[in-house]
Structure 1
Amino acid sequence: MNAGSTMERVYLDLKARIVGGAYPPGTRLDPFHLAKRLAASPTPVREALHRLSGERIVDSWHQEGFRQPIFAESDLCDLYQWAGALIGLALRAPALGSAVPASLLVSMEVEDYPARVARLFRAIALLCDNREIRYAIVNFVERSEFFRAAEARTDPAADEHLSAMEAAFRSERWTELRSKSAGFYRRRIAHAGRVVAALRPRSQTIG
């Protein structure tokens, strides 16, 4: 396997682990330790971590390495507000009139809440003819995937709100979907503190 393919394999594997919540918030991501688990040398792992840092999926500091992000309540509120604004922009795209949304949102009964949220917002991104908006939506989907399970645990109505958005998407009721999406993110902002508390390791104090 050449260096380029090794780097891509390591990047995809490491990204899946991080967004999937394999490491608690604040976990130091050491290239040497990760290299053993990923069956690679530290160099492609370090390169993958730099790439993930550029995508803001991991945090990094000069001379201090990499870690799984730690979100304060204000950080999560900012991300939710940004995500809601992007989805609102995507749902105003001119291409929506010629879309075929049903084929983009294939029903999978085994999917859990985080997978369904990611699938819905990726499908909305695909309907948008603005590439920058599409890329930004995909990025926030990836950055938020690891705390979606905490949303479902801390908000019993989360699944109900998601189902309503899915139904509006399948029926191409764009005005309704814009309204429900805005409501979804208002609710996410209101529950951000609970999500942050659910993500915090038991031994980690608030400081």
Structure 2
Amino acid sequence: MSPGATMERVYIDLKVRIMTGAYPPGTRLDPRQLARAMDASATPVRDALHRLSGERIVDSWHQEGFRQPLLTEADLVDLYEWGGMLLALALKGRQPSPNLRAGLSELQKIEPYPEAVDSLFGVIAVGASNRELRYAIVNFVERSRAFRSAELRIDPASRVTLAAMEEDYRFGRWTALRSKITTFHRRRTRQAGRIAAAVRPRSDPLR
């Protein structure tokens, strides 16, 4: 396998692991240890980590290596507020579609909550007319993935709320969807402290 192909494989594998919570917040991501687990040399792993650092999916410091982000309550509040604004902006100006009897076909029926949130917000991103806005939403979705399971544990009503947003999307009820997305993220900001605590290692005190 070529070096470029190896780095791409490692990048995708590592990104999926991080997004799905394989490493607790604050975990040091050592390229040599990861290389052994991924059947690769340390160089493509280090390159993948630098790429993920550029996407803000991992944290890095000069001469201090890489780690899984350790977000505080304030960090999560900012992230949720940012995501809500991006998604509302992507839906701004879309016209209602009252004649969609079967709904829009782009949104698949997905049962697990984290994947379903990714799917809904992802198709909203794809439908945005501004390319930079699309990139920003996708990055928000990826950076938020590690918290989705905790959201559901903290707020069991999340699945019902998501289903209502999915229905608005399927039938092109854009104003209603924007309102629900705004409410969804405001609720997340109020729960940010509990969500941050739920994903933080038990040995690490809240800060």
TM-score where L is the length of structure 2: 0.94
**Unaligned ranges ≥5, structure 1:** none
Equivalences for 1:117-196 in 2 at 5 Å?
117-196=117-196
Question: Which residue matches 1:45?
Answer: 45
Q: Which runs of 4+ in 1 moved over 2 A?
A: 93-97
Partner of 2:106 in structure 1? 104
CA distance in 2, matches of 1:75, 1:102: 34
Following the alignment from structure 1 to structure 2, what is the Cα–Cα distance between the partners of residues 81 and 192?
Answer: 11
Return the offset for 1:55. 0.1
Structure 2 Cα separation of the partners of residues 31 and 93 of structure 1: 45
**CA distance in structure 2 between the partners assigned to 1:184 and 1:144 by the alignment:** 14
The aligned residue for residue 79 of structure 1 is 79
CA distance in 2, matches of 1:104, 1:167: 12
Amino acid at match of 2:171: S
What is the TM-score normalised by the length of structure 1?
A: 0.94
Letter in 1 for 2:91: L
Partner secondary structure for residue 102 of structure 1? coil
Amino acid paired to 1:107: K
The residue type equivalent to 1:124 in the other structure is: I
Partner secondary structure for residue 66 of structure 2 = strand
Aligned partner letter, 1:180: K
1:114 aligns with 2:114: yes
Give the total of aligned pairs: 203
Q: Distance in 2 between matches of 1:95 and 1:151?
A: 31
Shift of 1:104: 1.1
Aligned-pair CA distance for 1:95: 8.4
| AA at the equivalent of 2:188 | R
